[in-house]
Amino acid sequence: MGNQRDIAVRRHAELVEEIRAHDRRYYVDNAPIVSDREYDKLFAELKDLERDHPDLITGDSPTQRIGTQPVDGFERVPHPQRMYSLDNTYDEGELRDFLERVKGGLGDEGTVKLVVEPKLDGASMELIYRDGILEKALTRGDGVEGENVTSNVKTIRSLPLRIPSTGEVIARGEIFINRENLEAVNREREERGEPAFANPRNAAAGSLRLLDPSITARRPLRIILYELIGASGMPDSHIECLEWLAEQGLPTHGIQCVCTSQEEVTAAISEFDSMRNDLPFEIDGAVVKVDRVDFRERLGFTARFPRWAVAYKFEALKAQTRLIDILVQVGRTGALTPVAVLEPVALAGTTISRASLHNEDEIRSKDIRVGDMVVVEKAGEIIPQVVEVIRARDTERGDPFVMPTTCPVCGGPTGREEGEARWRCTNRLACPGQLKAALRHFALRSAMDIEHLGPSLIDQLVNSELVRDPADLFSLTVEQVEGLDRMAKKSALNLIAAIDKSRGKTLDRLITGLGIPLVGEVAAVQLASRYGSLSGFYQAIPAVQREELAAIHGIGDKMADSVASSLEDERFMGVVKRLLDLGVDPVARGESEKGSLTGMSFCLTGKLFEPRARIQERIRAAGGEVHSAVKKGTGYLVTGEKVGKSKIEKARAAGTEVIDEETLMGMILDE
Ligand code: AMP
Ligand code: ZN
């Protein structure tokens, strides 16, 4: 027996190390050495091992990134030191003023070393590690108190949950979403009728404030640290602090410049400006900081800003080009969106040939017509926007734009409902444009996450009439797919395997994928947990009332109306029925694991991270028992901070295992 346990302990340590190394290669170095599949295999092995030996779960195990359950709200926690904003400068004059104020403030110090570094465009974050373990992640909030979003931040795979340094480490950085990924997230939001995130900062902030960490985990968030606030043995210059952070394995930007004169500072700033398109992250300026920590202390802070640092904001990226055409795209629910087709122009490191035009009213009010010159801007936004028109001569201008009265894809009639800004193709049943958009949505990473099912394959599947709705995907055969253009046997096999794999996804993802208007990932989780499984949902339907839906936590009136009308929609219900007939019957998240604590008992002691009542509730929800004191048969003593030694010794003597809070959360496994 002992031998077997030793093997488990050793294998656990190996897996943790290996997965951590892969995470680092993938997310930090951008140079993975294993395929996703191999990675998933290692991860699954680790999860199995931890299921059999829950005591091996440590707070920093890779499985703990998605281990926690939804919270009711975010606790507000004071920052150890106030989190200030940065004063902005926009030109050399303002920069000179800043440097002079620094000199004046320090008196006769001779040359002052300055560090110039990129200003990342995301949401600011404070991390606190204690004895090497990530303890807290706080948003800036009002600067004095931030919101505790630790469980969400833990889902960021490039962030180590453990660092070598002991004691308390306080560091600050920025959380953001990569450009390409933001585009995908936005496409989904727009189709759902939710406003698109304007920039990486909004996207990051929105993702961090989701109450359900497993949804945050699906968002490809990244973090970069740029400030060390406190650590034992903290270096006395910023440059060394940045190195120190990197040595701890924490992600840093790695492109700071040391300067000693205004000329050097200006040169560094313009260098950052010119390389901004080649960086793997979005920057909206540069930050100039005094290097020496003791100088910083002497300079201090104004009411809102440090006196030892300043931001220099870059100009928004703009370009001028000619509008050659206005195309109309068809979305998943038939919504028609005009898109500007441009004479290709270089902007922000890429060639732009499309831009967003918003809606018909906007085009009318700006009187934008084919033939005009337009100014497109990319200010953190992913899709460039037309922000200005320079009218061409009348003879060179096209007619005023009108929305087509027939759908550009299916030729069906279009219309605009009272009070709606959008035109739609009304041919819901038979518009290939809508179907293609619906399938793209179904396959998304945040929905059924079907690998290999990309836009061009979807086009082919729809055009060949092999797929008429999402349920059809599950009856596809290798032979059918193989018969498509440019399809080899191997890719056909891959696709079918990926579709099959998606059968195991949870109910909330399927609901998200079905794309009920207004129902996003969060509402989908609520609906899923209310009905338990797709078949449960289907059976409940004849009786499901609008009122019942509206009573579900997190489902508003409008959303309830939208769900109710989908349930009355024959086509929608037909898809659900056929999914069930094809054996696709996913269950709600947690449902399959309900009772992960069945037969176990716990006693809580010490100052715990989460409110005690909530922890007790979770233990009970997972089938466990809560004892008010350790008695004979109490399985686990969950200890928080400041627990007396004697309590622990007594528990051990009674045969009760002593675990910490994170271990407990890990035992209440999720997904
Ligand atoms: P602002 O939000 O415009 O007031 O700018 C201040 C914010 O810039 C800070 O709160 C940080 O979140 C962010 N920031 C981005 N990059 C850096 C950096 N390299 N150093 C300091 N702050 C940064
Ligand atoms: Zn149509």
Ligand 2 centroid to residue 186 C-alpha, Å: 22
pLDDT at 634: 87
pLDDT tens digits for range 205-230:
888 887 777 777 777 889 999 999 99
Instruction: Tell me which of 139-153, 159-173, 413-427 is least confident.
Output: 413-427
Ranges in the chain annotated CATH 3.30.470.30: 88-313
pLDDT at 331 over 60: yes
* Range ranked top by mean pLDDT from 234-248, 311-325, 417-431, 575-589: 234-248
pLDDT at 569: 84
pLDDT at 225: 97
Q: Is 119 a known active-site residue?
A: yes
- The answer to whether the beta carbons of residues 376 and 359 sit under 8 Å apart is no
- Which ligand is nearest to the Cα of residue 431, counting in written order? 2
pLDDT at 309: 97
pLDDT at 72: 56
Ligand 2 centroid to residue 193 C-alpha, Å: 18
- The larger pLDDT score, comparing residue 2 to residue 15, is at 15
Identify the CA nearest to 496 among candidates 450, 463, 529: 450
The span from the CA of 257 to the CA of 242, in Å, is 12
What is the best residue among 82, 84, 119, 283 to mutate for testing ligand 1's pocket, by most ligand atoms within 8 Å of CB?
Answer: 119
Question: Which residue puts its alpha carbon closest to atom 23 of ligand 1?
Answer: 119
* Range ranked top by mean pLDDT from 59-73, 201-215, 298-312: 298-312
Average pLDDT over residues 519-546: 83
Helix (H, G, I), strand (E, B) or coil at 307: coil
Ligand 1 centroid to residue 201 C-alpha, Å: 11
Ligand 1 centroid to residue 225 C-alpha, Å: 11
Residue 108's φ and ψ, nearest 5 degrees, are -85, 70
Helix (H, G, I), strand (E, B) or coil at 191: helix
Instruction: Tell me which of 328-342, 382-396, 517-531, 588-602 is least confident.
Output: 588-602
Question: Which residue puts its alpha carbon closest to atom 11 of ligand 1?
Answer: 124
The type of residue at 454 is G
* Range ranked top by mean pLDDT from 332-346, 549-563, 650-664: 332-346
Question: Which residue puts its alpha carbon closest to atom 19 of ligand 1?
Answer: 119
Burial class (CB in 10 A: 0-12, 13-18, 19+), 29: exposed
- Which ligand is nearest to the Cα of residue 199, counting in written order? 1
pLDDT at 425: 92
Token reading at 517: 């208007």
| Kind plus residue range of the DSSP H or E element containing 294 | helix 293-299
Beta bridge partners, 304, equal: none
The span from the CA of 264 to the CA of 114, in Å, is 10
Ligand 2 centroid to residue 482 C-alpha, Å: 28
Question: Given the CA of residue 84, which atom of ligand 1 is nearest to it?
Answer: 10
Question: Given the CA of residue 86, which atom of ligand 1 is nearest to it?
Answer: 6
- Contacts of residue 24, defined as CB under 8 A and 6 or more positions apart, other chains included, come to 158, 160, 249
The span from the CA of 527 to the CA of 553, in Å, is 9
Spell out which residues line ligand 1, taking CB within 6 angstroms. 85-86, 117, 119-120, 124, 174, 226-227, 287, 311
> In this structure, what DSSP letter does residue 68 have?
P
pLDDT at 384: 82
Mean pLDDT taken over the chain:
85
Ranges in the chain annotated CATH 3.40.50.10190: 601-669
What is the best residue among 79, 84, 86 to mutate for testing ligand 1's pocket, by most ligand atoms within 8 Å of CB?
Answer: 86
Question: Which residue puts its alpha carbon closest to atom 22 of ligand 1?
Answer: 119
Question: Which residue puts its alpha carbon closest to atom 5 of ligand 1?
Answer: 86
Ligand 2 centroid to residue 333 C-alpha, Å: 10
pLDDT at 410 over 70: yes
- Which ligand is nearest to the Cα of residue 124, counting in written order? 1
pLDDT at 653 over 70: yes
Q: How confident is the model at residue 580 (pLDDT cuts 50, 70, 90)?
A: very high
pLDDT tens digits for range 183-210:
777 777 766 666 667 667 778 888 888 7
Question: Given the CA of residue 140, which atom of ligand 1 is nearest to it?
Answer: 10
Helix (H, G, I), strand (E, B) or coil at 516: coil
- The larger pLDDT score, comparing residue 359 to residue 98, is at 98
Q: How confident is the model at residue 69 (pLDDT cuts 50, 70, 90)?
A: very low
Ligand 2 centroid to residue 196 C-alpha, Å: 23
pLDDT at 587 over 50: yes
Q: Which CATH architecture has domain 317-414?
A: Beta Barrel (2.40)
The span from the CA of 445 to the CA of 495, in Å, is 15
In the chain, % of residues over pLDDT 70: 91
- Which ligand is nearest to the Cα of residue 281, counting in written order? 1
Instruction: Tell me which of 1-5, 101-105, 132-136, 176-180 is least confident.
Output: 1-5
Q: How confident is the model at residue 387 (pLDDT cuts 50, 70, 90)?
A: confident
pLDDT at 68: 42
Tally of CB atoms within 10 A around 574: 12
Identify the CA nearest to 119 among candidates 316, 317, 273, 293: 273
Q: How confident is the model at residue 295 (pLDDT cuts 50, 70, 90)?
A: very high
pLDDT tens digits for range 264-294:
999 999 999 988 877 878 888 999 999 999 9
pLDDT at 377: 85
The span from the CA of 195 to the CA of 188, in Å, is 10
| Kind plus residue range of the DSSP H or E element containing 361 | helix 360-366
Ranges in the chain annotated CATH 2.40.50.140: 317-414
pLDDT at 2: 60
| C-alpha distance from residue 589 to each of 45, 161, 508 (Å) | 20, 25, 7
> Per the residue annotation, which of 103, 113, 119, 645 is the catalytic one?
119
CATH number for the domain whose boundaries are 88-313: 3.30.470.30
Question: Which residue puts its alpha carbon closest to atom 17 of ligand 1?
Answer: 119
Question: Which residue puts its alpha carbon closest to atom 12 of ligand 1?
Answer: 124
- The larger pLDDT score, comparing residue 323 to residue 518, is at 323
- The answer to whether the beta carbons of residues 251 and 224 sit under 8 Å apart is yes
- Which ligand is nearest to the Cα of residue 223, counting in written order? 1
pLDDT tens digits for range 92-124:
999 999 999 999 999 888 889 999 999 998 899
- The larger pLDDT score, comparing residue 606 to residue 183, is at 606
Question: Given the CA of residue 124, which atom of ligand 1 is nearest to it?
Answer: 12
Ranges in the chain annotated CATH 1.10.287.610: 2-64
Ranges in the chain annotated CATH 1.10.150.20: 428-504, 507-581
What is the best residue among 87, 88, 120 to mutate for testing ligand 1's pocket, by most ligand atoms within 8 Å of CB?
Answer: 120
Instruction: Tell me which of 196-205, 364-373, 431-440 is least confident.
Output: 196-205
Beta bridge partners, 533, equal: 587
pLDDT at 380 over 60: no
pLDDT at 468: 93
Beta bridge partners, 325, equal: 341
| C-alpha radius of gyration, the chain, whole number | 28
Average pLDDT over residues 388-394: 87
The span from the CA of 528 to the CA of 521, in Å, is 10
Average pLDDT over residues 16-23: 83
What is the best residue among 82, 115, 124, 229 to mutate for testing ligand 1's pocket, by most ligand atoms within 8 Å of CB?
Answer: 124
- Which ligand is nearest to the Cα of residue 404, counting in written order? 2
pLDDT at 70: 46
Token reading at 306: 């440090």
Question: Which residue puts its alpha carbon closest to atom 18 of ligand 1?
Answer: 119
| C-alpha distance from residue 470 to each of 458, 484, 498, 539, 571 (Å) | 11, 18, 14, 20, 11
Ligand 2 centroid to residue 327 C-alpha, Å: 14
The span from the CA of 650 to the CA of 670, in Å, is 32
Question: Which residue puts its alpha carbon closest to atom 10 of ligand 1?
Answer: 85
In the chain, % of residues over pLDDT 90: 38
Average pLDDT over residues 242-268: 95
Question: Given the CA of residue 117, which atom of ligand 1 is nearest to it?
Answer: 19
Q: How confident is the model at residue 496 (pLDDT cuts 50, 70, 90)?
A: very high
Token reading at 630: 């350790």
Class of domain 428-504: mainly alpha
pLDDT at 670 over 50: no
Ligand 2 centroid to residue 23 C-alpha, Å: 43
Q: Which CATH architecture has domain 2-64?
A: Orthogonal Bundle (1.10)
Question: Given the CA of residue 121, which atom of ligand 1 is nearest to it?
Answer: 15
The answer to whether domain 601-669 has CATH 3.40.50.10190 is yes
Helix (H, G, I), strand (E, B) or coil at 506: coil
Q: Which CATH architecture has domain 507-581?
A: Orthogonal Bundle (1.10)
How would you write 407-427 as a 3-class SS string?
CCCCCCEEECCCCCCCEEECC
Ligand 2 centroid to residue 433 C-alpha, Å: 6
What is the best residue among 87, 174, 238 to mutate for testing ligand 1's pocket, by most ligand atoms within 8 Å of CB?
Answer: 174
Question: Which residue puts its alpha carbon closest to atom 3 of ligand 1?
Answer: 86
